[in-house]
Amino acid sequence: MKHASASQVIAQVIARGGGGAPAAATRPAAARVCRPALPPEGAPPHTPCWPEACNGSGVAHSGAMSTVASMSHRLRSLALILLLACAAWSRVTPARAAAAFEPAATIRDAAARFVREQMPAALRGSARIDVQGPAPALHFPRCAHLQARAFGAASPFGAQTVEVSCTAPQRWSLYLPVRVDTLQGAVLALRALGAGHVIAPADLTVVSRDLSSLPAGALSDPRQAIGQVLRYGVAAGQALSRDMLRGPQLIHYGQSVSLIAVAPGMRLSALGIALQDGSQGQNIIVRNAQSGRVVHGVVSADGDVLVQIGAGAQLAASNP
């Protein structure tokens, strides 16, 4: 069974009213037959005594007729008012109502755009920005120009809050929670590795991780770790960083090494004895084998020890 709409019901109510006298007023109330009362004692027998409620035709009409007519008139008036209200409301379509408010997607885009602009250019392409809100029950008037700014400490990574506001034609603002995940390749240990272990390709794997969860100086290329030595042990699945590694031992204590001092137009070299172990880039102590003097130098990739220019005089003195 189909149910009539509110406007159909109201139209039916008005149609039944007939536009003139109310329908109830066109019908007499239920009539009752009035019988003449018995004449009082001593009255002539031919004189009928009609009750006051009866008219000349011997039929009495209910006094509720006027009340029904009044109620019917009020119902018609109320129905007309409701019909006009429905007609006016039907003109405000959902599309028109939505057009008066700023779309939620536009507000979220403003917040995401602001966060992306604050990030380093190299990370913008890999960043994943998740903006929450606004709540479906919240509606904000259309804005000529949305503005966004960081609320609290500004950070291009992790969780943060962004304020989106409008100044014209109406002022309003709201705060949106934002989560930024910046994915980067991270070098992880496939298994637990002890201190002093020389890292091999089979020890490593590369996975994508959120940059905010990685330690400072995290490695992104396995070649940065292969051949390096762990300064301390790491657990399986732990991300490797530069400060965890050192180069392999290129020089050992007591080993003969070449001491080299380089200056513009001059290169001096001498034989030295290492007084400590050393890896590439490490500063170690070396004794000049000829003069016996002790100098400091940095281990090169070739296993030589590079000394400061000031020490070149000592090398020159030891080379006749």
Tell me, what's the pLDDT at 26?
46
Q: How far is CA 55 from the centre of its chain?
A: 84
Least Cα distance to 135 among 112, 104, 95 occurs for: 104
Tell me, what's the pLDDT at 31?
47
Contact yes or no for 178/129 (Cβ under 8 A): yes
Tell me, what's the pLDDT at 240?
96
In sequence order, the 6+-apart residues with CB closer than 8 A to the CB of 32 are 59, 60
Tell me, what's the pLDDT at 206?
95
| Confidence class for position 262, pLDDT limits 50, 70, 90 | confident
Ordered DSSP codes for 110-172? HHHHHHHHHS-HHHHTTEEEEE----TT---B--SS-EEEEESS--SSEEEEEEEEE-SSS-E
What are the tens digits of pLDDT across the range 107-160?
999 999 999 998 888 888 888 899 999 999 999 999 999 999 999 877 777 889
Tell me, what's the pLDDT at 99?
72
Tell me, what's the pLDDT at 36?
52
Q: How many helices (H) and strands (E) does the chain have?
A: 6, 16
Lookup result for tokens 């007309």? 80
What are the tens digits of pLDDT across the range 67-79?
656 666 677 776 6
Three-state DSSP at 50 gives: coil
Tell me, what's the pLDDT at 126?
80
Least Cα distance to 148 among 128, 121, 167, 125 occurs for: 167
Instruction: For the full predicted model, state whether its pTM sits above 0.75.
Output: no
pLDDT tops 70 at residue 282: yes
Task: Give the whole-angstrom CA distance, residue 299 versus residue 164.
Answer: 56
- Check residue 272 and report its DSSP letter: E
Window from 85-89, 97-101, 166-170, 224-228 with minimum mean pLDDT: 85-89
**Is the CA virtual torsion 53, 55, 58, 63 positive or negative?**
negative
Neighbouring C-beta atoms of residue 189, cutoff 10 Å: 22
Structure tokens at 74: 């009020």
What are the tens digits of pLDDT across the range 87-106?
555 554 555 555 789 999 99
Task: Please report which helix (H) or strand (E) contains residue 176, including its range.
Answer: strand 172-189
Task: Give the whole-angstrom CA distance, residue 272 versus residue 303.
Answer: 12
Three-state DSSP at 239 gives: strand
pLDDT tops 90 at residue 200: yes
pLDDT tops 80 at residue 194: yes
